[in-house]
Amino acid sequence: MLTRDLFSLQGRTALVTGGSRGIGRMIAEGFLAQGARVYISARKAAACDLAASELSRHGHCVSLPYDVSTVAGCQALTAAYAQHETTLDILVNNAGAAWGEDFDAFPESGWDKVVDLNMKTPFFLTKALSEPLRAAAKERVGKIINIASTDGIALNPQENYSYVASKAGLIHLTRRMALRLAQDNIAVSAIAPGAFPSEMNRNARDRGDELSEHIPAKRIGTSEDIAGAAIFLASRAGDYVMGATLVVDGGVTHARAYR
């Protein structure tokens, strides 16, 4: 068995939503290091353009700044991508939002914003990009990676109702999408990250040392941790992984259950 190129992404194209910062940027940089041509999308054009410029030091990276929180936005991003490529090997559905508020005060806007972006968008963006995804899958297994969360598996004290619901739904949606898209030679999987430093997870960003005391691995996640998981799923190494959610959290989900 030849394993030299098992994790290579040479000759592959990837689109990472929410790719200008945080976990999305970590994954984009990892893909570039493995030889992929990478397109990143984010709602804020200036931030997306700057991130792509910085990431271009590692390889081919293009900014496609679009708001994918609506179906129209998903279709606009798809049209923009088609100006550059006719096939898409890897789609990372990473763009997301969070909302925390007391149960009695939790607003409808906090529900709709989070559920739409975290659960609705991955489905409709994948659907919009089905043509280039299927075209690439004629040559090798296509990949869709949904970024879920450990909050979709286990609970913490935060009152983040729409977030936990959306991420739990995304994990189950991943299974259903995988069952259908396997027919098209496309493998759908998910990653459930734990504590990684980002604008969305400010606790991990600003209080990493304190948070580490509650994690069996005794540290928060690094860019290598999340990029490695995504590279595995995106590469030949992950071709037989379909419908699974890879938990990357330093053991914290099991620790919650133990306590």
- Domain layout of the chain by residue ranges: 13-253
What predicted TM-score, i.e. pTM, was given to this entire model?
A: 0.94
Q: What are 216's two structure tokens?
A: 């069996």
Mean pLDDT of 95-122: 96
Res. 243 pLDDT band, cuts 50 70 90: very high
Q: What is the CATH number of domain 13-253?
A: 3.40.50.720
| Marked catalytic residue, from 39, 66, 81, 163 | 163
Cα–Cα nearest to 67, from 38, 42, 98, 93 = 42
Higher-confidence residue of 92 and 203: namely 92
161 is catalytic: no
Mean pLDDT of the chain: 93
Residue 204, pLDDT score: 58
Mean pLDDT of 123-130: 98
Residue 201, pLDDT score: 64
Cβ 136 vs Cβ 87: under 8 Å: yes
pLDDT tops 70 at residue 256 = no
Mean pLDDT of 54-79: 97
Residue 199, pLDDT score: 67
CB-side neighbour CA atoms (13 Å) of 37: 11
What one-character-per-residue DSSP string does the chain give?
A: ---TTTT--TT-EEEEETTTSHHHHHHHHHHHHTT-EEEEE-S-HHHHHHHHHHHGGGS-EEE----TTSHHHHHHHHHHHHTT-S--SEEEE---------GGG--HHHHHHHHIIIIIHHHHHHHHTHHHHHHHTTTS-EEEEEE--GGGTS--SS--HHHHHHHHHHHHHHHHHHHHHGGGTEEEEEEEE-S--SSS-HHHHHSHHHHHTTSTTSS---HHHHHHHHHHHHSGGGTT--S-EEEESTTHHHHHHH-
Contacts of 203 (CB under 8 A, 6+ apart): 195, 211
Residue 214, pLDDT score: 74
Residue 207, pLDDT score: 64
pLDDT tops 80 at residue 91 = yes
pLDDT tops 60 at residue 1 = no
Bridge partners (DSSP) of residue 224 are none
